[in-house]
Amino acid sequence: MSRLADINGAIAALSWDKETYLPPKSDRFRSQQIATLSSISHEEFTSDETRDLLAKTATIKNLTAKEKKNLLVLQKEFDKSVRFSKEFVVKRSMIISQAFHHWVEAKEKNNFKLFAPALDQLINLKREEAAILGKNTHPYNNLLEEFEPGATVEMLDGLFEEVRSKLLPMISKIREAKPVKSSFLKKEYPQGKQWDFGLSLLNSIGYDFDRGRQDISHHPFTIGIAPDDVRITTRIDENDFSNMTFSCLHEAGHALYEQGLDINEYGLPCGGPASLAIHESQSRLWENHVGRSMNFWQAHYPGLQKEFKSLKKVGLKDFYYGINKVKPNLIRTEADELHYHIHVMIRYEIEKEMLMGNLDAAGAQDQWKSKYKDYLGLDIQDDSEGILQDVHWSHGSFGYFPTYSMGSFYAAQFFKQAQKDLTDLDEQIAKGNTAPLLQWLRENIHQHGRRYEAEELCKRVTGKPLNLKAFIDHAKEKYSDIYRINL
């Protein structure tokens, strides 16, 4: 498994380069290189040697709980992987790698038609993959398993129904309240100064630059190449302070999780993240519960004001209100904490229909426009701010989006528990000291890797399964204060 992790780490390094520094005309052979290594990885993992090693290990007595979990997960992944032929793995890798370059071109030129044929290929590919994995369940369930083991359409339908019933009325009430000011966030923020400030924030919360780095990409992301090489990216808009700042904090949350995994479990399940929703809980916790809190900016706002003239006359409370403004917008990654889940729900609804064979690329674009109008009251003016805004489908990541909302709800539960366990947590954050929180996360979440399933981990940490209560309580308290209304 360590040898396989080396191969997959090489794929990750090539993929990171593809999205950061790859020359424009170099995509053909890069796609081929990644496909070749993906084929080698698949062949190694599905080999008779792996089958024999798994069978032999299963006969060993007195395995530790962690060793049993590693074996259980590996056997499950082996049984799934052997269903895919070498030819399918190569085809999948090539289609996905080439689709990314079509997406980049389409986004830059604001023309969905340049990506639509690749998206149709991806839809067909993912339907084929879902069919290979099993025909006796909803096809979306089979793809969900890759990102969030145990999650189902039935469970997610119930979760998003609760989002509709509890968040939409809250959003409606806030819309009727006196709006908060935020125009100062759209003034002049020079790129170089933003970059330097972002680095200072990353350092302050514990991101280890000796085991990682930050670069620029079309869409912010985190990638783990090895336990001691976890890289993040961001993007900068000189007329939007929030874009880079909260992307930095979000991706740093992912990276802190990766940097906190057990290095001695390299290549094994317990050396990897519990699930994508747990991964997302870490990024949303640092982005929202820490990064959008008054406590955090009590420590960092004086330094921020010194750097940017656009904030010289903006008080701390007005700044705090501004970065938490609730207003419908087109871009998921720039959405406030409440509208964010409407963005995710729209993608979930469209993905399900694509996997059922009810939508092709053109139909998906029509649905995107229709749902943004129905749910958010917004008209899609161009493709880059519409269906092309996210990179995920070009990566073949169908079934990923629901983990964003699940992760946000896990984050609320985890942070609430951290506040209970660390009685002076808020005061420490206000002093600029987030080390106690990071240590709490290391001990309660990071170090365990995949030893516990997401739901089991949540129960161990908070005593309760995943639910919306902590998030709803957090939102009511926070936005009742900001908007001077009773939610």
The catalytic position among 129, 145, 148, 251 is 251
Place of tokens 């968040």: 167
CB atoms under 10 Å from CB of 79, counted, come to: 12
Please tell me the number of Cα atoms within 13 Å of 74 on its side-chain side.
24
Place of tokens 């019933």: 165
As beta bridge partners, residue 223 has 231
Instruction: Give the three-state DSSP class for 395.
Output: helix
Instruction: List C-alpha distances in Å: 468 to 86, 218, 473.
Output: 42, 32, 9
- Name 466's Cβ contacts closer than 8 Å, sequence gap at least 6: 277, 406, 409, 410, 413, 454, 455, 458
CB atoms under 10 Å from CB of 442, counted, come to: 16
- Name 72's Cβ contacts closer than 8 Å, sequence gap at least 6: none
251 is catalytic: yes
First to last CA, the chain: 51
Instruction: List C-alpha distances in Å: 340 to 278, 286, 294, 308, 322.
Output: 17, 16, 20, 28, 16
Cα of 162 vs its chain's centroid, Å? 21
Between helix 86-109 and helix 2-20 the angle, nearest 10°, is 20
List, by residue number, the catalytic residues: 251
